[in-house]
Structure 1
Amino acid sequence: MLIDRVEASVFGTNCYVLAPQAGAECVVVDPGVDVADRLAEVLRRHRLKPVAVLLTHGHVDHTYSVTPVCGAYGVAATIHHDDAHRLRDPLAGLGEPLRAALEATTGTVRWKDPEEVVTVGDAQRLALAGLDLTVSHAPGHTEGSVLFSLEPSAARGQDVPLLLSGDVLFAGSIGRTDLPGGDPLAMRRSLATRVLPLADATVVLPGHGPATTIGRERAANPHLRGL
């Protein structure tokens, strides 16, 4: 199993590349601000061919580079249907401080939609690049936030479950609920019904910050207590 990460230049968003092995097809997850060139280098180094771009949700810090990345490799952007509207105007409702932070680094943002968008729903299975991913709808950070999970596979040397948690769960924290699409009650339900039932050994690859495990978060994350 090959997993690599590129950290975006603004907001510290994690962009992941997942593949069964080097020299294979891969999926790209959450291409954030100005990651396209560094992502291309990762793909060249591992001799990978993207077959899809997966989006954990539609906020611009996770989608900023989706159109150039999809265009460069001729692949679709995949997003939950409740967040698909954000790909038409990801800056809407961003708020002046966040917009200013973004434009201070990138200049004025001129947005163009991806040419092809695939929408997914809860419990949908995605067979991509030799990986069998399951979509779990986990609203709270946005209406269409999802988790992408990958069960262990001896064939690709993956002995523990993996979870791409987007901005639902971080090491020691959770995603904000005061941004566009946020809902504190929905977030609590998602944490209680989508996150806590997962096995302790599950490795969590979050949208920001370092990797963690469900067991570590169950024991120490203050936002999971009492759920």
Structure 2
Amino acid sequence: MLVLGFPAGPLQANCYVLASAEGAPCVVVDPGQEAVSTLDEQLGKYRLTPAAVLLTHGHFDHVFSAAHVCRTHDVPAWIHPADRYMLTDPGAALGPAGRQLFGDGPSMDAPEDVRELADGAVVEAAGLRFDVTHTPGHTSGSVLFGVEADEGGRLLLSGDTLFAGAIGRTDLPGGDHEQMMESLRSRVLPLDDDVVVLPGHGPTTTIGRERAGNPFLQGLPATDALS
């Protein structure tokens, strides 16, 4: 499997590209602000053709370029219905502090073909299977995408639910700290230690590393491991 990732925009949100191999169809995850030029470079370098855009949540630093990517390549975007409104109204999720920094947020258009994610669903695209896990907390519609690597092991695209050593903020509209803690307890902690986490900001990590050292996971009673 080919996995590419790069930070983009003022908030350095990670955009990811996953494909079975070079010269194959691919899936683009979270194309945010200022992601297009680097994304196009990566697509050209590895001869990749987008088949779908997956969005971990609706904040503009993760979805800003989704409409452009979808329009350019005639592909759908997938997002949880609770966050769909942010595709055309990014300011609604900023809150007072965010509006002081960004005003009403950047002007955005929604992709023409928007498809809604559901907890427990599977999105099949570019020859890959992405398991969808709803993890409200950072936003009402935050999700995790899990995918098996051809070489063995499992990848988790965690958006802003889980970072290396931290978690996403919960003080913006749609955020809820209690929901975040429950999502971490019931949906993240049961995962195997060797799951590789590709977060929405910052470096790659693993579930085992976060279980051992992430202060926000300490003291949370874990459920049984997920299959």
1:148-227 counterparts in 2 under 5 A? 148-153=145-150, 158-227=151-220
1: CA distance, partners of 2:172 / 2:107 = 21
Query: What's the CA shift string for 1:27-81, capped at 9, x where partnerless?
Result: 0000111111110110000000101000000011111111111111111110011
| Offset, 1:200 | 0.2
Match of residue 109 from structure 2 = 112
| Offset, 1:100 | 5.8
Report if aligned partners of 2:59, 2:93 keep a CA contact under 8 Å in 1: no
Query: What's the CA shift string for 1:2-33, capped at 9, x where partnerless?
Result: 01112112111000000011000000000111
1: CA distance, partners of 2:41 / 2:98 = 28
1: CA distance, partners of 2:26 / 2:94 = 31
Query: What's the CA shift string for 1:60-114, capped at 9, x where partnerless?
Result: 11111111111111111100111112212122241465456558xxxx8332221
2: CA distance, partners of 1:173 / 1:210 = 11
Letter in 1 for 2:9: S
**Which of 122, 133, 141 is the equivalent residue of 1:125?**
122
Report if aligned partners of 2:87, 2:108 keep a CA contact under 8 Å in 1: no
Q: 1:210 to 1:68 in 2, by over 3 A?
A: same
TM normalised by structure 1 equals 0.92
Report if aligned partners of 1:10, 1:102 keep a CA contact under 8 Å in 2: no
Query: What's the CA shift string for 1:127-164, capped at 9, x where partnerless?
Result: 111111100000000011000001243xxxx3211000
Query: What's the CA shift string for 1:162-208, capped at 9, x where partnerless?
Result: 00000000000001000121001100110001100000000000000
Aligned CA RMSD, in angstroms, stands at: 1.5
Q: 1:20 to 1:44 in 2, by over 3 A?
A: same
1: CA distance, partners of 2:37 / 2:130 = 26
TM normalised by structure 2 equals 0.92
Letter in 2 for 1:132: R
**1:3 is the counterpart of 2:3:** yes
Identity of aligned residues (%): 54
Match of residue 87 from structure 2 = 87
Match of residue 21 from structure 1 = 21
1: CA distance, partners of 2:93 / 2:29 = 23
Q: 1:92 to 1:9 in 2, by over 3 A?
A: same
Q: 1:102 to 1:64 in 2, by over 3 A?
A: farther
Report if aligned partners of 1:6, 1:16 keep a CA contact under 8 Å in 2: yes
2: CA distance, partners of 1:120 / 1:41 = 29
Give the secondary structure class of the aligned counterpart of 1:41: helix
2: CA distance, partners of 1:100 / 1:69 = 29
Could you list the structure 1 runs, at least 4 aligned residues long, displaced by more than 4 angstroms after superposition.
99-103
**Unmatched 5+ stretches in structure 1:** none
2: CA distance, partners of 1:175 / 1:143 = 12
Report if aligned partners of 1:148, 1:164 keep a CA contact under 8 Å in 2: yes
